[in-house]
A and B are shown apart, each in its own frame.
Chain A
């Protein structure tokens, strides 16, 4: 299967196999009008299988969303057909307005205009808790 090279854009590499579509949705890539390719289960020496997303445009990425969904992702910025920058992702300590609290008793379910904030409470197990009610992110 051949997917053409991009001239100016972004390649999200080393996505954990199966998380490509989740990342596609979290990053709001469905709203782009440029070409976007999602490759599932690509062969990888390091990972066995991986997903890859190619975006035919340089856009502002939400690195917190990337780090929340899959902190192993590598972001490659392509300019004039060449790799201009490669960046790995850290697990964010705090994420805002990426996910919503599912606890029906949480104030975020009724208070308007409130940012949905989660903080990393257990880095090893990647557990995030709601800043307000401390419920675990699901």
Chain B
């Protein structure tokens, strides 16, 4: 059965199909309430998470299925030194589908190589987070009604921000999308992402350190936090964490229909005063995450 490790494994038409199903789930939730009856989702979280794990669990419950798993490595045998391969071979006997988060990059791929049941990458270190990207795409679709002809600004930690890398890759497949990459010098988008996703496809992008200068032209502003757990030392974190803080004042020059997104959790990069702004849609984004995961679970379990 098929797994989902990287968003690029899904074609544009498959993403369209998932978004259509998610929208139908939002409109007709009762139609889907028993679609996965008798199926078990294993949520294997070797790294802490609030939204992603609960969203997967809520998605499976809303499909009528059951959930088992663990929420930190310390409560699994990996604390005793068990390999990913052995853990997955074991879980493969207990569940029908796995959602896995792991601090090591590539761990979900290793998992998918060691089981016949589908593995969903729920985040592997600073590498990929395809279901966040699907959540982001559903949100863009619901807020903007389209994926093409958009100027999307990414702001904050663009070096380690896996959600940013995945979303750049996904949005690079649509027409006339302009990318504005706003970050401190130390946290710029890695060269290989720019080369493979933007330059190789002749897509327009600019890099800047100024959020204020970029603001007026943006249709979407995708904020990210500086991730303490990805930096090697505390001094770097303290120096970089306050680089960009979105406030109502900074939004004064923004378009009236700007869409403000954030994968959450936030620390202080979006002032709570912005939450009341109707353009702030990061909590609607959280809600969308559950519906797109429901659509994905059904697709990978081949449930009609």
Residue positions of A touching B, CB distance < 8 A: 103, 105-114, 121, 129-136
Contact = CB atoms under 8 A, between A and B. Distances in A.
A121 B196 contact: yes
Contacts of A135: 105
B98 interface: no
Contacts, number: 52
B85 A113 contact: yes
B256 interface: no
A76 B257 CA distance: 68
Contacts of B106: 106-108, 130-133
A100 to B, nearest CB: 13
Interface of chain B: mostly helix, strand, loop or mixed: mixed
A132 B196 contact: no
B302 to A, nearest CB: 26
Nearest to A109: B104
B109 A131 contact: yes
B146 to A, nearest CB: 30
Interface string B77-105: 00000011100000000000000001111
A106 to B, nearest CB: 5
Contact of A133 (B83, B85, B127): B127
B83 A132 contact: no
B82 to A, nearest CB: 10
B109 A105 contact: no
Contacts of B104: 105-107, 109-111
B107 interface: yes
A50 B106 CA distance: 39
B125 A105 contact: yes
5 contacts: A107-B84, A107-B105, A107-B106, A114-B85, A133-B127
